[in-house]
Amino acid sequence: MIDVDVETGLIRQARQVPSPNFDERPGDCVASLIIVHGISLPPGEFGGPWIDHFFTNNLHPETHPYFSEIAGMKVSSHLLIRRDGELVQYVPLLKRAWHAGDSCFDDRDCCNDFSIGIELEGTDEIPYTTVQYERLANTISAIRQAIPRWLMPRSSVTVMWRRAGKQIPGLCLIGGF
């Protein structure tokens, strides 16, 4: 069971790793879209501290050649689901995380304004794990139940195209939600 605190936007079962890369959603904008991304740092490697470091501006470029390309980026996501199903939260769900970049969905620009970003640790070349899919489904369900005023229809779960070293986890995700 996943429990979302509707006052703070925090998920009680998630490991909290606060990112400085967020701000308030504009005006009366609330989340009506969930965007699922894929990420691994360095590309194709799993389980290290690098995603946490990336989203908290602590990624040192000398650690890995790829990091020199992305170390200065100011990005975050609301949530990460690791290969073993661990849930990590970087930004409260009620705030605007910086995960979608210059984006558009359903003729609306600036997807960060009205979305929740969920990262899956993985790549296009290696299948995501069953426990990740299960945790993703449970997390989306908990978000919808905890914050019904957001009125997220089933069709509001989508994937983002490759951007800033992140990859999409495959269109097969949409059908199950």
Tens digits of per-residue pLDDT, 64-99?
Answer: 999 999 999 999 999 999 999 999 999 999 999 999
User: Could you tell me the CA-to-CA distances from 173 to 9, 23, 49, 133, 138 in Å, in that order?
Assistant: 24, 28, 26, 8, 13
Residue from 99, 118, 119, 120 nearest 110 by CA:
99
Give the rounded percent of residues in the chain with a pLDDT score beyond 90.
58
Mean pLDDT, residues 36-41:
92
Confidence of residue 149 (pLDDT cuts 50, 70, 90): low
Least confident range from 20-24, 29-33, 41-45, 159-163: namely 159-163
pLDDT digits (tens, 9 = 90+) for 102-132: 887 778 788 899 889 999 999 878 889 999 9
Cα–Cα dist 123/114, whole Å:
26
Strands across the sheet containing 15-16 = 15-16, 87-89, 79-81, 115-121, 33-39, 157-159
Told to judge if 119 belongs to the known catalytic residues of this protein, a careful annotator would answer yes
Cα–Cα dist 31/94, whole Å:
8
Least confident range from 44-58, 68-82, 150-164: namely 150-164
Residue from 169, 139, 104 nearest 14 by CA:
139
Confidence of residue 163 (pLDDT cuts 50, 70, 90): very low
Residue in 45, 62, 86, 119 annotated catalytic = 119
Map out the domains of the chain with their CATH numbers: 15-175 (3.40.80.10)
pTM, entire model: 0.87
- Check: CB of residue 85 under 8 Å from CB of residue 3: no
How close are the terminal C-alpha atoms of the chain, in Å?
Answer: 17
Confidence of residue 153 (pLDDT cuts 50, 70, 90): low
